[in-house]
Structure 1
């Protein structure tokens, strides 16, 4: 990264680059290490880190600074404009920066990203109530935080081939919810649509005694599906 070689090991990730009280799995460590490798992220500069709480799946978090560095290095990047969206006199108004009038009501954030190969900018507007988690930072600096989230989402849309797989702490939950919804929708749409015939000769169940089954060896499927076993 930036001309410097960064070495990561599983122990280094577990001992120094994980936040939260959960224990990360080997699979999550490998995914994190590969993300850093392929996206050229330096976790020692807080460009990326793992967050794990209890038994929940770990989240791979990327900093806003990493997004900005990647955009700055893209040959087609031509700058951005960003700010907040407020309600003023019953109208929505885009305000540049992160400052508002006393009577303005904060509604969300906006960002425009300019690319050399596009005639119009990529424009993103996001709602405050979808991103604010009620944490201390959001309570103390809601204008700054919603503007930051708008920038990250706009950069991701502007450069999907470079930033599409990276998520900051503010939008990691939205990404997980989107993935969960997609999985459930896929199940509801396609589950049980095709009959599956199990041939007894292939399984050879009737030819094996219970003791033979107990003595057989099994191979554990990776942790993403711990309830499934494959006969070997």
Structure 2
């Protein structure tokens, strides 16, 4: 029999006072919300280990931040829900944001055949570190059949079948958070369940087999906080003028000189790359289509007449100067 008196523990009293509850009421609620699904008798030592996790990471079981899980060996382990991981990350004073990257290649979810990113990458930034933590999670290493999760055992469509991209994004965030903030002693639900194999459809079939038409690669998604309509409206007339003049060299230096937000600039350059690739594909004999690397920013700026008295160069002058360096005749005119 355990000698631990949970009601008398300073740890229990501290957690109860923080929630403005009596110790007895706190323990009763804790057992209801955290221990309800466990079988057999739970020792006070095991309860203390769970209370320690709640105190260490400031997670609230009454808000669904974590729960206790019983392994097949009968061991009791704390499991953080996704809300719990998000809570821990956001309350850390060194947290400085996160970003996600998505693979262009897709795979098919076996049950619904939904197109899912082959991998999703999460980058977490810390204010006190020079380099961010970057973690990439693959769909075929994380995918679970509905039968693996007891909550979905009676259905052929569980969380990974209904929302596969969201589940993979969540998994990438959790693993990045674990590394970025050293979160130990707790589990994620995904860690306790077996994954199911997912075969990636090959791009080219083996000789002798019927070739199956593969879907076109999906273009990388735009950055999360970019005003896509604004950027597209700015870039569209530039692309049209480049096609007319059969010269692409002015685009990149012009964009770098007029778009200050790095995410908007990245998205604009992606639009240019895509348009240039499509144009070259439709007009393979055009040898005058040049990238900005071929024209060179330095070469373009050599043709710009020095401006005296700190006079600002207007957009039309910049366009004319760059067009001259690309040996293109004509006036660009005023563009937005």
User: Structure 1 CA distance, aligned partners of 2:76 and 2:37?
Assistant: 9
With 21-30 and 137-146 compared, the bigger mean Cα shift is at 21-30
Higher strand share: 1
Of the three residues 184, 190, 209, the one matched with 1:164 is 184
Q: For 1:113 and 1:19, how far apart are their aligned partners in 2? A: 34
Aligned to 2:34: 17
Which residue pairs with 1:123 in the alignment? 134
Q: CA deviation at 1:120?
A: 2.4
Taking structure 2 as the reference length, the TM-score comes to: 0.41
1:108–1:22 Cα change, 3 Å: farther
* Structure possessing the higher relative contact order (Cα contacts under 8 Å, 6 or more residues apart): 1
For 2:59, what is the secondary structure of its paired residue? coil
User: 2:39 & 2:104 partners in 1: Cα distance?
Assistant: 38
1:63 to partner: Cα distance: 1.8
In structure 2, what is the Cα distance between the partners aligned to 1:109 and 1:85?
Answer: 6
**SS in structure 1 at match of 2:75:** coil
List gaps (5 residues or longer) in structure 1.
91-101, 175-232
The alpha carbon displacement at 1:121 in A equals 1.6
Distance change >3 Å, CA 117–CA 38, structure 1 → 2? closer
> Which consecutive unaligned segments of at least 5 residues does structure 2 have?
1-14, 108-112, 147-157, 195-336
Relative to the length of structure 1, the TM-score reads: 0.57
CA RMSD of aligned residues (A): 3.1
Identify the structure with the greater helix proportion.
Answer: 2
SS at match of 1:129: helix
The 2-side partners of 1:34 and 1:113 are apart by 26
Give the match for residue 82 of structure 1.
100
Equivalences for 1:1-232 in 2 at 5 Å? 4-5=19-20, 7=23, 8-9=26-27, 12-18=29-35, 20=37, 22-23=39-40, 25-26=42-43, 27-52=45-70, 55-87=73-105, 106-135=117-146, 136-160=158-182, 163-173=183-193
**Residues 64 and 83, structure 2, Cα contact 8 Å, conserved in 1:** no
| Superposed displacement of residue 59, structure 1 | 3.0
Matched positions, count: 159
- In the TM superposition, what is the alpha-carbon distance from 1:31 to its structure 2 partner? 1.4
